[in-house]
Amino acid sequence: MKRELAAAALLLLLIAGAVWNLHSADRLNETVERSLHRAEVSARHGDYEAALTALENGRQVWDAHGTYTQIFFRHPDLDAIQDAFHGLEERFLQEDPAWPAALGLLRYHLYTVDEMEHVTVGTVF
Amino acid sequence: MAIVLVRTLIIYFALLLAMRLLGKRQLGEMELSEFVVAALIADLASHPLQDMGIPLINGLIPILVLFCCEVLIAGLSMRSIRLRGLIFGKPSLLIVRGQILQKAMFQNRFTVDELMQELRAQGITDLSTIEYGVLETNGKLNVIPYPSERPATAAQLKLDAGQGGYPSIIISDGRVLDANLRHLGFDRAWLQQQLEAKGAENPEQVFLMTATESGQIYYAAKEAQP
């Protein structure tokens, strides 16, 4: 009976861990998204310096969760996010009017990673 | 390379622990759910080792979940006959008093060739000597011959078969297993007497020595190293 109870407790712990992971991924994505939104507003007003600062804040938040993301997310997805951060940074530095495409790509990769953690019919199957 | 090494070690010990905790059954004795879990665990564990892009936790979590489910199902099925029948199935009679139950054979997808193969493996060539043939839930066919076809026992023959007893290893490759010696109720002094009687000076000269509680001994001296 002890073994079954331990297994049930471990299973509950794993379920709790999965729920915690889901919230953590959502929180991280929302925090980064807030920075990206600030960067977007600044860039639309032509203030690329402020856009770069906001983007850098978002990147710092993302990098600060490096251990968490490396443990739970697929590494090729993380590489794609880093590349997208770098791509958007380049666009802002060059004041390239094509930055919305780079921002869209970064948002897409962040959304994909977060979406993978959500239990939906689409992600399960 | 170091990452591969560390990942492999982690997966290896996780698998070892999971399989150890799951039980001691041999592959051929596994129930259906146990076989599914064993096959799945082995496959799941290999993916994070082959692809460094997959987080290790993606290999460990399925192992843990399968382990928990298997322990829970095994525990619950111990307490519920209905659940046990539902998950593991029930034994099927394929032969009754020498007659093959063809409907049961068909229901269990058991062919005549397989039946004959199983019977030959058990040294049976005459179906009419079988009282019952039972297909167990682990896929093994157990055969019960008619009483007149079963080997006679010592009791039936009114013979003195002597004392039995479980032979415990007390010296393995020169090393004395004191726990087994104590369990049998003997001590080192008794062991030394037995060794001297066999012509050995010390345990290092013994390859294998077993004893039963009644003092029946098997002795094999260590051969000289080439």
Structure confidence by residue, pLDDT tens digits, A74-90: 889 999 999 999 999 99
Q: Please check whether residues B79 and B111 belong to one and the same domain.
A: no
Taking Cα atoms as reference points, which of A24, A49, A9, A3 lies closest to residue A118?
A24
Confirm if B67 and A7 have CB atoms less than 8 A apart: yes
For residue B142, being part of any structural domain is answered with yes
- Whether A123 has its CB under 8 Å from any CB of chain B: the answer is no
Residue A55: pLDDT band (50, 70, 90) is very high
Q: Please check whether residues B124 and B143 belong to one and the same domain.
A: yes
Q: Please check whether residues B43 and B6 belong to one and the same domain.
A: yes
- Whether A25 has its CB under 8 Å from any CB of chain B: the answer is no
Q: According to the model, what pLDDT value does residue B25 have?
A: 56
Judged by CB atoms closer than 8 Å, whether chains meet at A10 and B68 is answered as: yes
Q: State which of B68, B86, B104 marks the end of a domain.
A: B86
Domain spans of chain A, in order of start: 24-124
Structure confidence by residue, pLDDT tens digits, B135-160: 988 788 999 999 988 888 888 888 88
Report the residue of chain B nearest A69, measured CA to CA.
B55
Q: pLDDT at residue B164 above 80?
A: no
Residue A71: its chain B contacts at CB < 8 A? Answer: 55-57
Q: Please check whether residues B82 and B97 belong to one and the same domain.
A: no
Q: pLDDT at residue B77 above 60?
A: yes
Identify residue B12 by its one-letter amino acid code: Y
Count of the separate structural domains present in chain B: 3
Q: Please check whether residues B108 and B125 belong to one and the same domain.
A: yes
Mean pLDDT, residues B75-98: 86
CA distance linking residue B61 with residue A18, whole number of Å: 10
Mean pLDDT, residues A28-47: 92
The whole-chain average pLDDT of chain B stands at 85
Structure confidence by residue, pLDDT tens digits, B9-67: 888 888 777 777 766 555 556 676 777 777 887 787 788 877 778 888 888 888 888 88
Distance from CA of B42 to the nearest CA of A (A): 20
Q: Please check whether residues B79 and B115 belong to one and the same domain.
A: no
For residue B161, being part of any structural domain is answered with no
Distance from CA of B92 to the nearest CA of A (A): 29
Distance from CA of A62 to the nearest CA of B (A): 18
For residue B158, being part of any structural domain is answered with no
B interface test, pick of A1, A2, A4, A72 with most B CB neighbours within 10 Å: A4
Judged by CB atoms closer than 8 Å, whether chains meet at B75 and A76 is answered as: no
Q: pLDDT at residue B97 above 70?
A: yes
Judged by CB atoms closer than 8 Å, whether chains meet at A8 and B57 is answered as: no
Q: Please check whether residues B72 and B110 belong to one and the same domain.
A: no
Q: pLDDT at residue B216 above 90?
A: no
Confirm if B174 and B203 have CB atoms less than 8 A apart: yes
Q: Please check whether residues B195 and B138 belong to one and the same domain.
A: no
- Whether A80 has its CB under 8 Å from any CB of chain B: the answer is no
State the residue range of the domain holding B22.
2-86
The reported pTM is 0.66
Confirm if B53 and A75 have CB atoms less than 8 A apart: yes
| Torsion angle of C-alpha atoms A7, A9, A11, A13, degrees rounded to 10 | -150
Q: Please check whether residues B11 and B67 belong to one and the same domain.
A: yes
Report the residue of chain B nearest A79, measured CA to CA.
B53
CA distance linking residue B111 with residue B133, whole number of Å: 14
For residue B73, being part of any structural domain is answered with yes
In the CATH scheme, what architecture does the domain A24-124 have? Up-down Bundle (1.20)
Judged by CB atoms closer than 8 Å, whether chains meet at A11 and B75 is answered as: no
Q: Please check whether residues B23 and B74 belong to one and the same domain.
A: yes
Helices (H), B23-149: 32-50, 57-79, 81-88, 102-107, 112-121
Task: Say how many Å lie between the first and final Cα of chain A, rounded.
Answer: 35
**pLDDT-above-70 percentage for chain B:** 94
- Whether A101 has its CB under 8 Å from any CB of chain B: the answer is no
Taking Cα atoms as reference points, which of B107, B141, B138 lies closest to residue B38?
B138
A112-116, B24-28, B162-166, B196-200, range with the lowest pLDDT: B24-28
ipTM over 0.90: no
Judged by CB atoms closer than 8 Å, whether chains meet at B68 and A14 is answered as: yes
Residue B61: its chain A contacts at CB < 8 A? Answer: 14
Q: Please check whether residues B113 and B130 belong to one and the same domain.
A: yes
Q: According to the model, what pLDDT value does residue B63 have?
A: 85
Q: Please check whether residues B174 and B216 belong to one and the same domain.
A: yes
- A–B interface: beta-carbon pairs under 8 A: 43
Q: According to the model, what pLDDT value does residue A106 have?
A: 92
Q: What are phi and psi of B177, to 5 degrees?
A: -95, 90
CA distance linking residue B48 with residue B60, whole number of Å: 9
Taking Cα atoms as reference points, which of A107, A96, A109 lies closest to residue A55?
A107
Buried b (16+ CB within 10 A) or exposed e, B58-90: bbbbbbbbbbbebbbbbbebeeeeeebeebbbe
Q: What is the CATH number of the domain that holds B112?
A: 3.30.240.20
- Whether A2 has its CB under 8 Å from any CB of chain B: the answer is no
Residue B67: its chain A contacts at CB < 8 A? Answer: 7
Report the residue of chain A nearest B22, measured CA to CA.
A3
